[in-house]
Each structure stands twice: as C-alpha cells, then as structure tokens.
Structure 1
Amino acid sequence: MTRLPRPTHGLILLLIIALAVASAFPLVWMVLSSFKTPEESMQTPPVWIPGSLNLSAYGAVSEVIQAGRSLWNSAVIATVTTTGILVTSLMAGFAFAKYRFRGRNALFAVMIATMFLPPIVTLIPLYRMVSAMGFSASLVGVILPNLANAFGIFLMRQFIAGVPDDLIDAARVDGASELRVVFSVVAPAIVPAIAALALFAFVYHWNTYLWPLTVLQGASEDYPIVLSLGRLLSYNRGAMNTPLVMAGATMAVLPPLVLFVFLQRFFVDSMVSAAVKG
C-alpha cells in the first residue's frame, strides 16, 4: 500500500480544517448574532463577538410568535413521522430482503422509482386525499402521508439482506412470530442503519416547509417552527430586529443538532458498514 508523503498529509489536514470552518461559520455567526444588541447588529464593519451575553432576543421571540407551541408542533410532526418511517421501513425492508414472492423485484423497482418523483408532483394529489379524509388544517394531515418512505425501505432492505438467514430461522424454530423476528432479532443487528435513518427522517421532517404550509392553511396554532420563523422574517424591518430572527433560527436548529450529536457515532458506523459491503 502506497503511503502519501508527509507534506501531502499536511495539505489534506489544512483542507479539511478549512472546509470544517467554512461549513460551521454560518451556524456560529447565527448564534453569536442572536446575543447581539440591535446597535451591534447594525455596526459597520460588523461586530464579530457581542460585547455581552444579551438574552433579550430570546425572550422577545415568544412575544412575536408562539415559540413554545411551534417547537412542540415540530417535535410531534418529526417524532411521530420518524417512528412511523422506522416501523414501516423495517417491516417492508424485511419482506423485500427475506421473503420470496412473485413480482417482488418488479414491486421493489416501482417503489424505487417513486424516489425520483419531485415532491411538487405529488403535492396536489396528496392534499386532495388528505382533505377528502377530513384531515386538512391539522397535524394529522401533515403526518399521515409521510409514515412510509421509499428511501427508508430501500435502506433497510439493503442492510437486512446482510443479516444471516440462519439467525432468522433459529428464531422461527424457537417459536418467534414474524414481528418478533423483525424487531427482536433483525433490528438489533442493524442498529447503525436504523439510527442513520432516524437522523435523516427527523431532520428532514423537522425542517420541511412546503407540505405543512399547504395542509395547515388557516390553522396557525398548529404551525411548526419553520413556518413560524417566516412570521419572524416578515416582522423584521431592517437590522434592528436581526438578533430576534437569529434567536428564533437558533431555537429551531438546536433539537436536530442535539439529535445529531447523540446519533453521529451510529451514523458513521452505518456509512462505514455500507462502504465495506459495497
């Protein structure tokens, strides 16, 4: 195996550090700006570090929007949707990976094809279906169409295919039902993949904007935090309210960021496992 010369190692390290700093800069700037006073936010050249820890913007957010209610709505949408995706993806992935039935490959191909449909194409049909069921302008209408996910099924199928058949057959011989095989035998064997899917799903549905905006028309009390932030932006008139907007954005980004910190080890493990299998 050819080793790279030491100067090359240094250049690669510098490149990684530069990319990390560039990626983290917007987040750091947002957090620092939320602690600035309105005067500091308007200074030119810009003030990089606030003179003091000013928390007034965080208190003002709740006066402009229902921040607590919006965060709760986002948590309900993201948590329930993620749980549904994990359950349906595990069961469907297990069926595609371990069952042999007529039309399996064709059905799997059709399911994969749905991943390439732009969301805007399905927006109106989904909204008409949700409205016909009486779930428009409610959190149920936001959650229901997203309880199954083609990418999640594909991901689980790929990892479950690597679980030994002997392990599954042994569980069946011991009298385990198919549901117990899925959740007590297969699921523990692919924990990194499940954690990665949970992270993807939670962050996506926490940040999703267009579908909740379509369904929740006239139901502002059910707005998730990303929709409520739009009201903050309309409230902003010049730089005077920039700390307020940054405080709201910081509050919105914290939950998925904390989840990533806890699940990053599993996320990396799943990527390494997929690379080794590939």
Structure 2
Amino acid sequence: MNLSLRKSSITLLMLIIGILFLFPFFWMISASFKQETEVFNFPIEWIPTHWNAVQNYTQVWLKTPFAQYYGNSILVSVSTTALSVFISCMAAYGFTKVYFKGREVIFLILLVVYMIPHQAILVPQFIIFRWLGLYDTHIGLIFLNCFSVLGTFLLRQAFLSINDEFIESARMDGAGHFRIFTSVIVPLVKPVVATYAILRFIWTWNDYQNPLIFLNSKHLFTLQLGIQSFGNENGQFYSLVMAGAVSAILPLLIVFIIGQKHVIEGISAGGVKG
C-alpha cells in the first residue's frame, strides 16, 4: 500500500473513532436544549424541534445553589493547582539540581509510595484530617491534593534535561537557589509546567471521591457533589441534569483549548532526559 494512502486511511479511521467518542457529548448538549418530552425521542433528534435552553439553564443556575457549587469548585481547583505546581516544581528542583546524600533513595521511596492505591490510605487520611480539624473544610481538601508524586516525577524529568551550566552561570552572578529556580529553571520548562497545571486542574475539577469523603456540609460541596445532589433531586428531569452537566464541563473545555498547545510539548519534554 502506498505510504501516503496508508497515512490517509489511518487519519480517516482516527477521525471516525474520534467522532464516535464525541457522540455522547453531542447528545448531552442537544438534550440540555430540549423539552423534557423530547429528550429520549428515537431516532435521536440532534437539533431540538422546540428549544428550551433558556428555561433549562435558568432553572439550573437560579433555582438551585449551582453557582455556589461552581464557586467552590473554582476555589478548590485553582488553589490546589497553584499549590501543587509550586510544590512539585520545588521538589523536582531539589531532586535534580540540589545534591545531598540519599537523594535518589528518597525519590525511589516516593515512587514506591505512589504505587499504593489511594483507596488504601483513605482511612488514615480521614483520621488525620479530623484530628487536625481540617475535615469538612476547603483547606483540608486543598491540602489533600496539593502534594503529587506524579507531578514531581513529570517535572523532574524535564529539569533533568536542563544543562547544569545554566545554574553555574547564575551562581557566578551571585544567584541563590530560589533565584535560580524562579528565574532560570522554571522559564526553561514552561511547557511542562503548563501541562501539569492543566492536568492538575482537570483532575481536581473532576474529583468526586475526595469531596465525597472529606466534605459534609452542603454549602461546601464542589460541583461534582452538587451535580449528584441535583441529579437526586431532579433525576426525572434529564434535560435539567444535562444542562447542569454542560455547565460543569465548560471550564475544562476552556482551560484545555487555551493550553492545548502546551500539552504535547510538555509531555514530550517531560519524557526526555538530557
């Protein structure tokens, strides 16, 4: 088979598979604009006959505490992302550019800890957070997610690709570790940092398990718990539930569209050791 024809066939196949994966997303958007009686019409009406978008979205946003859930998710996701990126960058810098005894052993221990399923440590975490008074607080939820072995590993791989001559030059100019970290190292790995920030935001925004366990007060619920509560109360109104789901996914689409160019660059750079 001609190489060009083979590439075209693979591209076409990937396009078809991609469209198939997007069908549920398109149906969700379409259902959010429909009247309740039209949601499950068969064959599927991708373009609603009777548009009911204003009423659906108005009821979701104005007649439920959906805005509060949204604000809680933004607060937790942004704070967690900022802290996690900073801590992971500092840890990666320490494991690559600061030489101390036992550095590789400590990093190996971190990787071993990462292999422990998160569910296996939920009970100890719950007990510790209750003892510290962080249970049922946004601060506790933020602290729970701001330490990431995966983020440290990803950024460490990127930091390893940076030549130590940059650091030596900065030291000759009188720069200390923090100045080197902020002015030399981080700017050189911006794609990787941006990639991890995007991934961390998405993971935190979509997190259901941790808020379910560590939050109890309804006014503190993040969007995932809020949608579940909203679905339990309005489960028979699928058009409203779909309107809530569409609203919940919009920030993820915006973040990914803005930062998508960094994702491929960041993953590629993070997997290359200099």
Structure-1 residue corresponding to 2:143: 144
Structure-1 residue corresponding to 2:48: 50
Secondary structure of 1:87's counterpart equals helix
Structure-2 residue corresponding to 1:134: 133
Q: Is 2:11 the partner of 1:19?
A: no
* 1:213 positional shift: 1.0
Structure-1 residue corresponding to 2:264: 268
Q: Is 2:73 the partner of 1:74?
A: yes
**Following the alignment from structure 1 to structure 2, what is the Cα–Cα distance between the partners of residues 276 and 209?**
33
TM-score, normalised on structure 2?
A: 0.94
**Following the alignment from structure 1 to structure 2, what is the Cα–Cα distance between the partners of residues 275 and 152?**
13
* 1:146 positional shift: 1.7
Q: What is the alpha-carbon root mean square deviation over aligned residues?
A: 1.7
Secondary structure of 2:175's counterpart equals coil
The residue type paired with residue 257 of structure 1 is L
**Following the alignment from structure 2 to structure 1, what is the Cα–Cα distance between the partners of residues 153 and 268?**
17
TM-score, normalised on structure 1?
A: 0.93
Identity of aligned residues (%): 30
**Following the alignment from structure 1 to structure 2, what is the Cα–Cα distance between the partners of residues 19 and 276?**
30
The residue type paired with residue 183 of structure 1 is T
- Give CA deviations for 1:192-242 in whole Å, capped at 9, x if unaligned: 10011001100000110111111112x10010000011012212344xx11
Contact 2:137–2:220 (8 Å) recurs in 1:
yes
**Following the alignment from structure 1 to structure 2, what is the Cα–Cα distance between the partners of residues 44 and 265?**
39
Structure-2 residue corresponding to 1:212: 211
Structure-1 residue corresponding to 2:219: 221
* 1:58 positional shift: 0.8
Mark the CA change 1:95 to 1:237 in structure 2 (over 3 Å): closer, same or farther.
closer
Mark the CA change 1:178 to 1:97 in structure 2 (over 3 Å): closer, same or farther.
same
- Give CA deviations for 1:53-108 in whole Å, capped at 9, x if unaligned: 42211111135531111011001111111111111111110110112211111100
Structure-2 residue corresponding to 1:231: 229
Out of 249, 254, 258, the residue aligned to residue 254 of structure 2 is 258
* 1:187 positional shift: 0.6
* 1:4 positional shift: 5.1
Name stretches of at least 5 consecutive residues in structure 2 with no aligned partner: none
Mark the CA change 1:98 to 1:277 in structure 2 (over 3 Å): closer, same or farther.
closer
**Where has structure 1 moved over 6 Å in runs of 4 or more?**
none
Mark the CA change 1:43 to 1:23 in structure 2 (over 3 Å): closer, same or farther.
closer
The residue type paired with residue 117 of structure 2 is P
